[in-house]
Amino acid sequence: MAYLALYRKWRPRTFTEVVGQKHISIPLERAIEQDRLAHAYLFSGPRGTGKTSMAKILAKAVNCLHPDGVNPCNECQSCREINAGSSLDVYEIDAASNRGIEEIRALRESVRTLPAVSRKKVYIIDEVHMLTKEAFNALLKTLEEPPSHVLFILATTEPEKIPLTILSRCQRYEFHRISVEDIKNHLLYIAKKSDLSLTEDAADLIAVRADGGLRDALSLLDQCSSASESKVLDAPAVYDLLGLTGKDMILDLSHHIFNGDSSAALTLFYNILQGGREPASILRDLLEHFRNLMICKVNPNAPEFSQYGAKVETLRSDASRLPAPYLDSLFDYLHQALHETKRSSSPRLSAEMGLLHLCRMKGSKSLDSLAQRVAQLEEEVERLKKGAVSMPMAASPSPAPVSRPSFPAAPAAPATPAAAPVSPAAPISPMPVPPAPSQPLEGPIPIDTPIRPASQRKNRAPVNEGPNIPQPVPSATPAAPAAVSQPAPDASLIDPKTYPAIWQKVLGYFMAIRRIDVFTCLRKSTLIYCTHTRAIVSAPQQFLVAAGNNKSYQKVAAEAFAKVTGSPIQMHTVLKGGEEEASAFALLKSAEQAGPAPAPAKAAQSGPDYRLVSKDSIPAKDRSDPSLNEALKIMADCDIYEKTES
C-alpha cells in the first residue's frame, strides 16, 4: 500500500477528534441533536485549522446510517464513501479552478435532483472567495432558497473578499489558530502512536514553526521523521532538517549586537553561513528573536517562548534590561535589511552591512528617544548631587552667579551669607521639552515695573544677576572704585504671603520678553522661599529641575526677580517632595520664627559714583583716548558710565 502522509492519515473523522476548535464543533453537535441545521454554512480561518475536515465530518453526520450520538460512525457505507471521496451525494468543489459562471450554472442544475442514496446532498465549495462576480450572482438565488435536501458548506481563508449578499445568507464560523500547547500535545500523541521518538523540545519547536496550523505541523513532523538518521528526533535535529538557526547561536549573535562587537558578530555570522544557512534565513531568525524580546517585555510567559528551552531565562533577562525604544529601532532596521537582502544580487553583502549597522546603533544619538535621554539625564543629576561637596558662600566681588545651593537642616537663627552652604555648579544642558500645561494662562500677569522687549533694552541700567555683584567699572577710568558694602541677604526674608503674586509676576516677565522656553519650563513650579538675594522654587519633575538650574535660565530669572522686587535674587530649583525642598521649608520656618526682618536699604556708598552716558555726550578729548577707542572696537554694543564724585 502506498505511503500516506501524516496529515492525511491523522485527519479527524469525528467532532471530538478536531483539535482546538471546540467553539465550532459543540454548536454543530447541538444543531444536529435538535435537528436545526441551517441550509448554508461558511467556514473561514487560517490555513490548516480544520475547515475542510469539519465540513466532511458535518456531511457524514447528516448522512450517517448508524450515528454514534451526533458523531458519524465511519463504518457504514455512506461514511466510507465520503471518507474515500467517492460519494455521489457529497460534492467537493475547488472554486479556484471552477470559478466561472458556467460551473455555477451546472451546480444549479444539479441541485434540483434528489440525492442518490443519502438523505442530503452536500456541496463543499473550497476557497469560495475565488469565484468571479458573475458566479456569485448566479449562486445567490440558489444559496438563498435551496431545496430541503441540499446543504451548502463554503470554506475560505479570505472572507473579506466574499460579497455581503452571500455572507448574509450563511451561518458563519471563524476557525482560530491552534495554540502551541495543543499542537505540541497532538504531535506527541501522533509520534507515540506512530512509533516515533519525538522529544518535547522538538515538538515545541515544530509547534511554534507551524504558526497555528495543525496541517503544517504534521507536514513538518513528517519531513523531519523521514529525513532524520537518528532514532531520536530532538531539537538540534529539527534545526538542521528545517534549515533553521539554533537559538544558542541567535542569542550569541544578539548579544554581540547589544555590546556593539562588530568583529564577533561577523565571525559568528560566517560560522552560521558555513553550516549551510542562507543570509536571509539568518536575518529572519534574528528578526523573530527581536520580536520575542519585545513580546517578552509585555508578557514574559508567552507560550511560544517554550522553543528556547533552558535559554528562556536568558531571553527574559535581555528583555528586562534593554529599553523598548532601542528594541524598536533594532526591529525596524533589521526588517529593512531583510527586505533588501531578499532583493539584492549579493545577499551576503547586504546581510553583513545590516549586521554592522545594528552593532553601531547602540551609541547612535539619533535613535535615542527623548524618554531615554531624559532618564540618562536624571541619573547623571542624581550622581552629581550625591557626589557634590558643599562649600561656604564667600562674600567676594566675583561676578559669577551662585548656583545649585544645598540647604542645611533648620538652624536656630536666620542664616547669614557666610553660613549658607552651596554646592559647586554642574554644567547641565538645557531641556527645552516641557510637559503640557495643567492650566491655561490667559496672558502675562502685569508687574510693577514697565517691561520692554529684549531687543529694545540696549542701553538699560545694569541689573545684578546674583548676590555681591559690584557696579561696572568703565574701561577708560584707570582707578578702580572703592568696594561697596552689601547687607546681609538671608536676614531679609520676603513675606511668604506675597510669594504667589511675586511668582506670577516673574512668569509674566518671561512672557513679556518672549522667553517662552523659560516660561514653559517654570510655569508648573512654585516659589517656596525668597529673600532679597536668593529664591527657591519647587518643580514637579526631575528634568524640569535640571532645566531650571541651567545658567542661562537662572540669568533670565535673576533679571525677572530684579524687575519685580528691585533686588538681585538668584533662583535655584529643587525637586518637589525631595530632601532639598524639605530643607527649604525648614529654613523658611526658622526664619519666620525669628520674626520679620526689614527690607534691605540701599547701602551708603563711599567713594566715586557712576552715571550712564551716551556715546554722543562723551567730550571730544575723551573720544580720542586710545583706550576708549580700542574698548569700543571690541565691545561695540555696551553701556558707558561716567565717574562722578558723591
Q: Which pLDDT score is estimated for 470? A: 42
Q: Which pLDDT score is estimated for 594? A: 67
Neighbouring-strand partners of residue 125: 93, 154
Q: Which ranges of 173-278 would DSSP assign to H, the alpha helix?
A: 180-193, 200-209, 214-227, 235-242, 247-259, 262-274
Determine how many CB atoms are found less than 10 A away from the CB of residue 568: 22
- Report DSSP state, residue 454: G
Least confident span in 277-281, 511-515, 606-610: 606-610
Q: What is the sign of the dihedral through the CA atoms of 305, 308, 309 and 310?
A: negative
- Report DSSP state, residue 276: T
Closest by Cα among 431, 396, 459 to 638: 459
Least confident span in 178-182, 314-318, 622-626: 622-626
Please, which pLDDT band fits residue 308 given cuts at 50, 70 and 90?
confident
Could you say which of 3.40.190.10, 3.40.50.300, 3.30.1550.10, 3.30.470.20 is the CATH number of the domain covering 6-176? 3.40.50.300
CATH 3.40.50.300 residue ranges of the chain are 6-176
On the question of pLDDT at 452 being above 50, the answer is: no
Q: What is the sign of the dihedral through the CA atoms of 405, 538, 427 and 452?
A: negative
pTM score of the predicted model: 0.52
Closest by Cα among 600, 390, 577 to 489: 600
On the question of pLDDT at 472 being above 60, the answer is: no
Which tens digit of pLDDT belongs to each residue from 318-363? 999 898 888 888 999 999 999 999 999 999 999 999 999 999 886 5
620 Cβ partners below 8 Å, 6+ apart?
none
Interatomic CA distance for residues 273 and 459, integer angstroms? 73
Interatomic CA distance for residues 476 and 627, integer angstroms? 6
Interatomic CA distance for residues 72 and 58, integer angstroms? 8
Task: Write a three-state SS string for 532-593.
Answer: CCEEEEEECCHHHHHHHCCHHHHHHHHHHHHHHHCCCCEEEEEECCCHHHHHHHHHHHHHHH
- Write the single-letter amino acid at 3: Y
Q: Which pLDDT score is estimated for 351? A: 93
C-alpha cell of residue 101: 459562471
Least confident span in 238-247, 388-397, 620-629: 388-397
Give mean pLDDT, residues 437-444.
41
Topology of domain 243-368, per CATH? Zinc Finger, Delta Prime; domain 3 (1.20.272)
Average pLDDT, the chain: 78
Please, which pLDDT band fits residue 97 given cuts at 50, 70 and 90?
confident
Which tens digit of pLDDT belongs to each residue from 561-586? 888 888 878 899 999 888 888 888 88
Please, which pLDDT band fits residue 636 given cuts at 50, 70 and 90?
low
Least confident span in 38-42, 402-406, 492-496: 402-406
Least confident span in 103-112, 122-131, 225-234: 225-234
Please, which pLDDT band fits residue 25 given cuts at 50, 70 and 90?
very high
9 Cβ partners below 8 Å, 6+ apart?
none
Contact 142, 103 (CB under 8 A): no
Question: What backbone phi and psi angles, to 5 degrees, belong to 43?
Answer: -105, 120
Q: Quick check: helix, strand or coil at residue 232?
A: strand
Torsion, Cα 445 449 452 457, to 10 degrees, reads -140
Determine how many CB atoms are found less than 10 A away from the CB of residue 228: 19
Q: Which pLDDT score is estimated for 634? A: 59
Contact 265, 257 (CB under 8 A): yes
Which tens digit of pLDDT belongs to each residue from 240-286? 887 777 888 899 999 999 998 999 999 999 998 887 788 998 999 99
Q: Which CATH class is domain 410-468+487-593?
A: alpha beta
Which tens digit of pLDDT belongs to each residue from 37-60? 999 999 999 999 999 999 999 999
CATH 3.30.300.180 residue ranges of the chain are 410-468+487-593
Least confident span in 346-355, 432-441, 493-502: 432-441
Percentage of the chain beyond pLDDT 70 is: 76
CATH 1.20.272.10 residue ranges of the chain are 243-368
Q: Which pLDDT score is estimated for 456? A: 45
Q: Strands of 7-109 (E only): list them.
A: 40-44, 90-94
Please, which pLDDT band fits residue 638 given cuts at 50, 70 and 90?
low
C-alpha cell of residue 497: 504671603
Please, which pLDDT band fits residue 473 given cuts at 50, 70 and 90?
very low
Neighbouring-strand partners of residue 493: 531
Max CA distance (Å), the chain: 130
Closest by Cα among 606, 567, 573 to 469: 567
296 Cβ partners below 8 Å, 6+ apart?
302, 305, 315, 316, 319
